[in-house]
Amino acid sequence: MIHPEQQRRAYLEALGIDVWVPRGQADPEPGAGDSATPEVPDGPDWSELRGAVSSCTRCPLHESRTQTVFGVGNQEADWMIIGEAPGAEEDRRGEPFVGRAGKLLDEMLRAVGQGRDSVFIANILKCRPPNNRDPRPEESAQCRGYLERQIALVQPRIIVAVGRIAAQLLLDTDTPVGRLRGKTHRLGEIPLVVTYHPAYLLRSPSQKRKSWEDLCLARRVATEVAV
């Protein structure tokens, strides 16, 4: 069996990132700081929420979608990954972050001990905007309640906002990603860390190091919350 640390190093090398460990920083021990899960506020359960999303006609995007993209992963995850909106492949498959960008996201998560089956991945929008344009404010507003209910159901210890649009909409700011990353924000009571979108990293591989640092920050924060 491959040792987890060897596997982590292999993933980092695949991302083109030099492997290093800051002095005095140890990896969190599995299961450290487990605590009771807070009670989830009243509202739709997962099945009801999924049904509401799949039949949603709140905005014109329902007219051009192939299907909605609800979200995927562990519904009791410590980590929640939030992106902007489905693309063409996500619209066809009904799953967020697929294709080349999705594969890179998977590698990034594995490098910090997470995976598609251990986190919950969702988007700001549940339907694809035509030609992959940016979400419009009214579209984001109509979808916001679905995302907020997903967050309430998951009760994550950390949220990772992936890309400019997700970060700016969640934090209600127009600050560039480069100035938002590298620090811990809050979405209500939940810590939130911002990082670059995998699609951007495919175009700018020199920025992968910064995204690795962002995920290490998210891991530290999630561990602190668990204690």
Number of alpha carbons in the 13 Å side-chain half-sphere of residue 68:
22
- Confidence at residue 226, expressed as pLDDT on a 0 to 100 scale: 74
- Confidence at residue 6, expressed as pLDDT on a 0 to 100 scale: 53
Spatial distance between the Cα atoms of 8 and 159, rounded to a whole number of angstroms: 21
Cβ(121)–Cβ(97) below 8 Å: yes
Q: How confident is the model at residue 225 (pLDDT cuts 50, 70, 90)?
A: confident
Sorted by where each starts, the structural domains of the chain and their CATH numbers stand as 48-226 (3.40.470.10)
Q: Which two tokens stand for residue 37?
A: 């899960």
Express each pLDDT in 34-52 by its tens digit. 333 334 446 799 999 999 9
- Confidence at residue 42, expressed as pLDDT on a 0 to 100 scale: 61
**170-188 mean pLDDT:** 96
**13-39 mean pLDDT:** 42
Statement: residue 2 has pLDDT above 50:
no
Statement: residue 31 has pLDDT above 50:
no
- Quickly tell me which residue has 């989830």 as its tokens: 40
- Confidence at residue 178, expressed as pLDDT on a 0 to 100 scale: 95
Express each pLDDT in 152-170 by its tens digit. 999 999 999 999 999 999 9
Express each pLDDT in 82-117 by its tens digit. 999 999 999 999 999 998 999 999 999 999 999 999
- Confidence at residue 138, expressed as pLDDT on a 0 to 100 scale: 94
- Confidence at residue 5, expressed as pLDDT on a 0 to 100 scale: 55
Long-range contacts of 10-15 (CB under 8 A, 24+ apart): 11/107, 11/110, 11/111, 12/111, 12/212, 14/107, 15/104, 15/107, 15/108, 15/111, 15/208, 15/212
Taking the alpha carbons of 133, 144, 138, 174 in that order, is the dihedral positive or negative? negative
Express each pLDDT in 125-155 by its tens digit. 999 999 989 999 999 999 999 999 999 999 9
Statement: residue 214 has pLDDT above 80:
yes
